[in-house]
Amino acid sequence: MMRYKFLTILAITVFLSAPVLAQDSPSLNVATRERVVEGVASRIEASFYDSEMAGEIAEDLRTRLSAGEFDDADNAASLASQLTEILHPSDSHFSVRYFGPPPPSSGGAAPNRPAGSPSAAGRRDNFGFREVSILPGNVGYIDMRQFYPTQIGGDTALAALNFIQNTDAVIFDMRQNGGGSPSMVQFLISHFLDPNARTVINTFRSSNRDYPGELLSLSYLPGEARPEVPLYVLTSGRTGSAGEAFPYHLQAMERATIVGETTYGAGNPGGYMPVGDGFRVFVSNSRTQNPFTGTNWEGVGVMPDIAVPAADARDAALILAYDAILETAEDAGHRRSVEWARDAINIRNNPPVFDLESNLDILGHYDEREIYLEDGNIYYRRGRQPGRRLIYLNDDLFLIEEMENLRLSVQRDNGHVVSLTFHRANGQSMVVMRDAD
């Protein structure tokens, strides 16, 4: 299996996990509380991307400590929560968490080292790729929950891209993505840009560095570039950090349409740093600056091009994808399958009125096929196959659930049902006569 090396930048991640419960949180004495607050202030002074702002934040924490503002924080969970609440308005990534006491050091191993390797944890999470599929109408779909570094997740990412290589449009679902590594953002975006042009995707600035760092599109792609394929990204209010970077940069380059909700608004990269006594603080050590907009999404989020509730975003993006595909599709069968897929979404969201009682006469056997009633719905079954619900379209025409390229129409003679016709998207059809009573 081939491995690929890519640009490594400290991960940017929104940690949305629940705080430590009070009953699992140790009590704090005055000395410990003072050490933790001072540790947080010192870490921010040393590492925050804006040194002037860092000094102001650290001084504010020390002033609050001297004024006794933390005196009521009598356990680790409450102190972490109070510090986070104070820091968060200055940067959306600021967070203080209690991770528990470090394990005892043995054999010279570094204390407080997380158990297990990132690669092993990543494999269990499939490196953030929750679902990769081809949706009706030949639209590729990738549901990503986290951006793992390409050093460990690059092969899985490439497999996902290869799987949807022959689709006519692509949807990335970031609605549950809390962030991760910019190297994976770089890898994925590069596959949807012109491979002959080195594009600056993002820059990273810090008062601790003389020159900004640049995140460039990759000059070598292990997979095929698709600079023209229609591209859509789904977002929600839970989309954070690197999960926001992906749609933001694509939107800034006018390379993708963003569909869903405004995102969380955490735009500056960094990581958790130990401050002692089992506490850590997330400090942003750089400020992202998109070369096209001159700014980033910190505090405001990524605003969608098409604003819809997150639950409706996939259907909304599919409709846009189908319209885009139909603008260039020439094959009649392909056009019909895309139109049928679009109809299925419209019908699901706006079902036509269906009079069940007046359609019960279609129940019965048609050779090895059967139309039957169950739980107030009409189903179609062939032989011993599982039944599939019929979805009314119009004028004795039905969709067959989960069979997007097949439709069923009912023929009548003098008001009596005599046959069924199965219509395929490729233009073929088949008539099946009703069995004699």
pLDDT tens digits, one per residue of 397-417: 999 998 989 999 999 999 899
For residue 11, is pLDDT > 70? no
Same domain, 251 and 133: yes
pLDDT of residue 7: 36
Among 17-21, 134-138, 320-324, whose mean pLDDT is lowest? 17-21
For residue 23, is pLDDT > 60? no
Same domain, 321 and 361: no
**Is position 7 within any domain?**
no
103 pLDDT tier (thresholds 50, 70, 90)? low
- Mean pLDDT value across residues 367-394: 94
Q: How far is CA 131 from the centre of its chain?
A: 10
**Is position 306 within any domain?**
yes
Same domain, 131 and 236: yes
For residue 26, is pLDDT > 90? no
Same domain, 166 and 297: yes
pLDDT of residue 55: 96
For residue 41, is pLDDT > 90? yes
135 or 111: which carries more pLDDT confidence?
135
What span, in angstroms and rounded, lies between the C-alpha atoms of 83 and 75? 12
116 pLDDT tier (thresholds 50, 70, 90)? low
Counting residues of the chain whose pLDDT is more than 70, the rounded percentage is 90
**Is position 333 within any domain?**
no
- Mean pLDDT value across residues 283-310: 95
Same domain, 416 and 385: yes
User: Of 214, 245, 270, nearest to 49 (Cα)?
Assistant: 270
Mean pLDDT of the chain: 90
- Alpha-carbon torsion angle 244, 250, 254, 256, nearest 10: -90
For residue 233, is pLDDT > 70? yes
Residues 6+ apart with CB under 8 A from 267: 92, 241, 244, 245, 287, 288, 296, 297, 298, 299
pLDDT of residue 118: 72
pLDDT, tens digit, 9 for 90 and up, residues 196-221: 999 999 999 887 776 678 999 998 99
Which CATH number does the domain housing residue 135 bear? 3.90.226.10
pLDDT of residue 109: 44
> Number of folded domains in the chain?
3
Diameter of the chain by CA atoms? 93
Same domain, 25 and 149: no
**Is position 346 within any domain?**
no
Q: Which domain holds residue 202?
A: 118-271+284-325
Taking the model in full, what pTM does it have? 0.86
Same domain, 317 and 385: no
User: Of 85, 61, 80, 40, nearest to 274 (Cα)?
Assistant: 40
**Is position 350 within any domain?**
no
Among 115-124, 293-302, 350-359, whose mean pLDDT is lowest? 115-124
Same domain, 150 and 195: yes
Same domain, 68 and 143: no
Same domain, 180 and 314: yes
Same domain, 20 and 159: no
pLDDT of residue 295: 94
- Mean pLDDT value across residues 140-163: 97
- Mean pLDDT value across residues 284-305: 94
